[in-house]
Structure 1
Amino acid sequence: MSIGRLIYKIFFKPTLQIRYYIRHFGLTGWYKLYQGEQQMKKAASDIPPVPLAKDHLLEVNYLTGAKYWHQTIFCAQSLARILQGRVKINIYSDGTLGQTHEAFIARAIPGVSIVAEKTVNEHLDKFLPIAQFPTLHYLRKWHPFFRRLIDIHSAPLWAIHLDSDMLFFDRPQQIIDAYQNKTAIYMQEHLSSSYFVDDEKTLKDKYDINCISHVNGGIIAYNGDIDYTDLEEKAKTLLKHYPNAGPAQVEQTLMSYVLFKQGATPLDKQRYPIFYDSKIEVEDSQIVRHYIFKAKLPYFNTEWKKILP
């Protein structure tokens, strides 16, 4: 390993997120964010439990790990409280979820289903054998993003996944309706351009990849009964023609392609808003809030406290 790569591995990569926050919030802002997240972790470790009922109105899935377990607890609990426990919750590991994290989650949400990695691997060996789908397996190892696409959805069933950095404040009737009718839905991106490997016209005209614009991966639902041979080929095409694209761009492109094929409809972006900045504009009509980029500051400092019992 070269000196440059060694320095990157030892210093730059582990401190990337810290340096990002310091650049945007300054040293004081970063420290407030850090302190807020530590408080959130402590609260998540001994939060009063919200038991799940046996009959459910909705079934949801989370992908989580060592960095996000506390966020998952707060998001899942906020939804479970609103639905009075009538939600089935499945937890998948991003590869870093340890037994201690699982114990915290199981304590906070009695009745939660934590899907063992061994179970996932055995299922994939049968449903998506590596000999037939080498690219999809490569993507899964490349970055945890793809476990949302592959682990959660690789079955001929309707499934919804929720990102952990969200909080529910009201009954998500549009999601419940989609679950009951088994229709595809997605959270709308508010930014002017979609986060794909290329613009939608180029993807369509050159590679026969039709995408729905402005898809955000915070909330995604569709039927897993899709043509995985086709998805394998589309993934191979993206990796070949966009070698410098990041995993988030590739995953968003493939996810949007699947949603297009199923005629997915968007969630109301006023009621299911995404916050990007450090200022949170609260409205009574908001059902869920998704906190990304600079919105992590109020999320870790004040927002999670709003759903405490």
Structure 2
Amino acid sequence: MRRGEQQMKKAALKLPPLNLSKHKILNVSFLTGAKYWHQTIFCAYTLAHFSDGEIGIRLYSDGTLTDEQIGFINQVLPGIETISEQQVLQHLNLVLPQHTFPTLRHLRNWHPFFRRLIDIHTSPSWAIHMDSDMIFFGKPNQIIEAYQRKTAVYMKEQLASSYFVDSEDTLRDKYGINCIKSVNGGIVAYNNDKVDYADLEEKAKLLLQHYPQAGPAQVEQTLMSYMLHHQNAAALDEKSYSIFYDDKPDLSRPDIVRHYIFKAKLPYLTSEWKKVIL
């Protein structure tokens, strides 16, 4: 896997530049960093290719992204937009000031997971974030339609249980937190303008008070699913927007995108990226 990933980094820098069009049919955001910049290149590059370059790409740092790595991505995808830490903090001081939203600001400092929730999804209007460990093999029409209609969508988790701080029934009945089941954070989109941040602050505070042992991934998943429930989010077609968990997945399927997690990192880092011959 280490050898495969080193080869992937070298290959990412050799991809021919793909110019992004001024006409945008979709705007996407990535949270990336020193460990993931090459994965971001492959995900964004394949998405742009199958969308005829008609996408906008925003990069947010997880706190580790360097200027050199931003340059690597910009070399392959000229025209990307990088949102600096200073820009993020200036925006948050306006929309989520520390004295009014101490819990949400705390979450952002607690773990990079929350930068997806806080940094990306407090920008105006509809926003989508994508994990970097994905490769596109077709045009994501369902996502493009959601963008045009400003409707919420998410990648559907295929394992049996959701990764919340507690059961869905307890969260609903005891704390008034309704969640959509089986949300995978690989692709999540919703209309930021419809989020009640005062309510989100209250719900985040409740979770931290009553579930002090919960990890950041569980808290973020719970809050993200809560917001998706409020916006009647629809699941992306799981047969086309696929999640691979095993080291020997079925790779003969006509997927639009593949998200590689757990043991599927092995084929992702050793062979799947090599299919990107455009």
TM-score w.r.t. structure 2 length? 0.98
| Residues 1:217 and 2:185 are matched in the alignment | yes
Whether the 8 Å CA contact 1:75–1:164 is kept in 2: the answer is yes
How far the C-alpha of 1:284 sits from its partner, in A, is 4.4
Whether the 8 Å CA contact 1:78–1:169 is kept in 2: the answer is yes
Distance 1:190 1:172 in 2: 19
Distance 2:277 2:90 in 1: 38
Distance 1:230 1:148 in 2: 18
User: Could you say which residue in structure 2 is the equivalent of 1:201?
Assistant: 169
How does 1:133-282 map onto structure 2 within 5 Å?
133-225=101-193, 226-282=195-251
Structure number with greater CO (CA < 8 Å, separation at least 6) is 2
**Residue aligned with 2:214, SS:** coil
Distance 2:26 2:54 in 1: 7
**Residue aligned with 1:230, SS:** helix
- Structure 2 counterpart of 1:176, which letter? I
**Residue aligned with 1:187, SS:** strand
**Residue aligned with 1:120, SS:** helix
**Residue aligned with 2:241, SS:** coil
Q: Which runs of 5+ in 1 are unaligned?
A: 1-32
> C-alpha root-mean-square deviation of aligned residues, in Å?
0.9
User: Could you say which residue in structure 2 is the equivalent of 1:115?
Assistant: 83
How far the C-alpha of 1:282 sits from its partner, in A, is 2.1
| Residues 1:296 and 2:271 are matched in the alignment | no
User: Could you say which residue in structure 2 is the equivalent of 1:106?
Assistant: 74
How far the C-alpha of 1:58 sits from its partner, in A, is 0.7
Distance 2:196 2:19 in 1: 37
User: Could you say which residue in structure 2 is the equivalent of 1:305?
Assistant: 274
User: Could you say which residue in structure 2 is the equivalent of 1:130?
Assistant: 98
Distance 1:308 1:229 in 2: 47
How far the C-alpha of 1:185 sits from its partner, in A, is 0.3
**Residue aligned with 1:174, SS:** helix
Greater Rg over alpha carbons, structure: 1
Q: Which runs of 5+ in 2 are unaligned?
A: none
User: Could you say which residue in structure 2 is the equivalent of 1:8?
Assistant: none
Work out the number of aligned pairs and report it.
277
**Residue aligned with 2:274, SS:** helix
TM-score w.r.t. structure 1 length? 0.88
User: Could you say which residue in structure 1 is the equivalent of 2:254?
Assistant: 285
Deviations 1:17-55 (A, max 9, x none): xxxxxxxxxxxxxxxx11111111111133221110110
Whether the 8 Å CA contact 1:59–1:89 is kept in 2: the answer is yes
Q: 1:73 aligns with which of 3, 28, 41?
A: 41
**Residue aligned with 1:219, SS:** strand
- Structure 1 counterpart of 2:228, which letter? L
Whether the 8 Å CA contact 1:127–1:155 is kept in 2: the answer is no
- Structure 1 stretches of 4+ with a deviation exceeding 6 A read none
- Structure 1 counterpart of 2:245, which letter? Y
